[in-house]
Structure 1
Amino acid sequence: MPTPSHPDDSSARLPRGGFRRRAALVRAVAAGVGALWLAGAAVSAQAADLLDEVKARGTLRIACEGTYPPFNFKDEKGELTGFDVEIAKALAAKMGLKPVFTTTEWSAILAGLQAGKYDVIVNQVAATDKRRETFDFSGPYVLSYPQLIVRANESRKLETPADLKGLKIGVGQGSNFAELAKGIAGAEVRTYPGAPEYLQDLATGRIDVAINDSLLIPYLRAKTRLPVKAGAPLGKPESNAIPFRKGSPQFKQAIDKALADLMADGTYAKISTKWFERDVSQPPAAR
């Protein structure tokens, strides 16, 4: 006679294979929960924006060379000053943040931004298509053009790229001016950490010409004793903007608004006129 099943024996109430189906169901539910958690984490990571980070920190970390007058340099008291420094401070104030500056050589400045050492670079960075592959940019805040710098006693006609064939050209390493110089057929391009080094070599005759921002020339003429002068412009006017790491649309919106506010309330024009005697957000006058 068969032994009757115990009333509490759950196995007696499950059809054959019930344990397997229940285990499979538990695994499926667990997998679903895991997938939802991972999806939620991915959404959270994607939603993270630099604006949230700088607001939580209360600071805007700003990089510049610190050796690039009149844009950014140290005055006789050793304090960081210049057009870019004043613009950066005004931008941070508009965003409700405290500016914190880091100075570094131009040759390393973009790599430092990509590594997260600072939030933005305010240092006359040309917003080229190549750089836009790696970084996002604010709207333009300066319009200028590349220009030759020559010794004060230079008598040769140096006006076109063809005129530079066989000459030694000094440029900043990793700069858009370096890219421009490398495209000049027959020229010898020498790269330097920054403007002070190649301008010194230009003054002493180690190189024939240099290429830099057109806005640098009036400052050199007025403020330094270097025996150099403005040469011919090269290329078209280009826009300089503020780069930051990709993927922060809220931060871009905030910094663009801060720039627009500076221009609307006259702050930008006041700073620009102080350093350049004109509004450099507008195209330079034809020469």
Structure 2
Amino acid sequence: MKTLLKSWLTAALFIASVSGAHAELLDEVKARGTLRIACEGSYPPFNFKDDKGNLTGFDVEIGRAIAAKLGVKPEFTTTEWSGILAGLQAGKYDVIVNQVAATDKRREVFDFSGPYVISYPQLIVRADETRKLETAADLKGKKIGVGQGSNYAELAKSIAGAEVRTYPGAPEYLQDLATGRIDAAINDSLLIPYLREKTKLPVKAGAPIGKPDSNAIPFRKGSPKFQEAINKALEELKADGSYAKISTRWFERDVSKPLAAR
């Protein structure tokens, strides 16, 4: 009886120790057979719904390619930018593939892959804008629209005298920009050509502002095997030409490489 009781206690302690431990994310993904990927779904050309309602875009194709390299299926969740990082922290998905800048502040909470896109912040202004809106001094007293919780919001707040207005995502502040409710917006430079070519909003590219961003894929801390697997997948996509093919389809160049100095 004592031997049996001892066995039960040993088993119980083992189960408790395993369940209390932080499981490696790669093991979970492999066992599940899916990589749960979050994106906004309303951020063209990175991720958006096409005319048939299908999720598409650069980030979507990269996410699918990474999942294939891991030997699992992609499972996408779309959510507003304002809550996307909180959802990752809560474990609602495994990764975010949505142009997330790997800032020092975010690295305190999440681990990141290596950079997979290098771009820079850029002002967006109305198509008929004639005022000089190029430097921080030009933006003093101006209303600037940015995504809530984005690194562009932090950049805008650093501009002395600017009035910063935050929005759930790009569609909302671009609409306000087009109608004159704000003077300018800040977003990824790679977004501008798509807006110019694919939408009818009366907006245009403004001046580059701030420093270049290295965008990467965040996931929960403490999964080194997963981090290694994601980085290996990205390296293989670049080596076999898949990344360049996807990037060129959406941006007419390889966006893993920085542009020449402007």
RMSD of aligned C-alpha atoms?
1.9
Letter in 2 for 1:80: L
Letter in 1 for 2:69: K
Superposed CA deviations along residues 183-210 of structure 1, whole A, max 9, x for unmatched, are 1111110000000000000000000000
Shift of 1:231: 0.6
Runs of 4+ in 1 over 4 A off after TM superposition: 34-47
Indicate whether 1:190 and 2:170 are aligned: no
Match of 1:216 in 2: 191
From 70, 78, 82, the counterpart of 2:53: 78
Mean alpha-carbon deviation: is it higher for 157-166 or for 40-49? 40-49
Pairing partner for 1:64 from 9, 33, 39: 39
* SS, match of residue 247 in structure 1: coil
1:278 to 239, 250, 253: 253
CA distance in 2, matches of 1:37, 1:284: 58
> What residue in structure 1 maps to residue 244 of structure 2?
269
Task: Please point out which of 199, 202, 210 is paired with 2:174.
Answer: 199
Find the counterpart in structure 1 of residue 232 from structure 2.
257
Q: In the alignment, residue 165 of structure 1 is paired with which amino acid?
A: K
Matched AA of 1:206: R
TM-score (norm 2): 0.93
Instruction: Give the CA deviation at 1:158.
Output: 1.1
After the TM superposition, which of the residue ranges 114-123 and 45-54 deviates more from structure 2? 45-54
Matches within 5 A, 1:1-287: 42=17, 45-46=20-21, 48-287=23-262
Q: CA deviation at 1:285?
A: 2.9
* Aligned-partner Cα distance in 2 for 1:42–1:286: 53
Structure-2 separation of matches of 1:134 and 1:216:
27
Counterpart amino acid of residue 129 in structure 1: D
Q: How many residues align?
A: 257
| Aligned equivalents of 1:142, 1:45: Cα separation in 2 | 36
Q: Which amino acid aligns with 1:277?
A: E
Cα drift, residue 276 of structure 1? 0.2
- % of aligned pairs identical? 82
Tell me the SS of whatever aligns to 2:138: helix
Q: Secondary structure at the match of 1:163?
A: coil
The 1-side partners of 2:120 and 2:211 are apart by 6
In structure 2, the gaps of 5 or more residues are none
Deviations 1:48-79 (A, max 9, x none): 20001010000000000000000000000000
Measure the CA separation in 2 of the matches of 1:184 and 1:47: 41
Taking structure 1 as the reference length, the TM-score comes to 0.85
Partner Cα distance (1:281, 1:153) in 2? 32
Change (3 A) 1:166 1:266: same
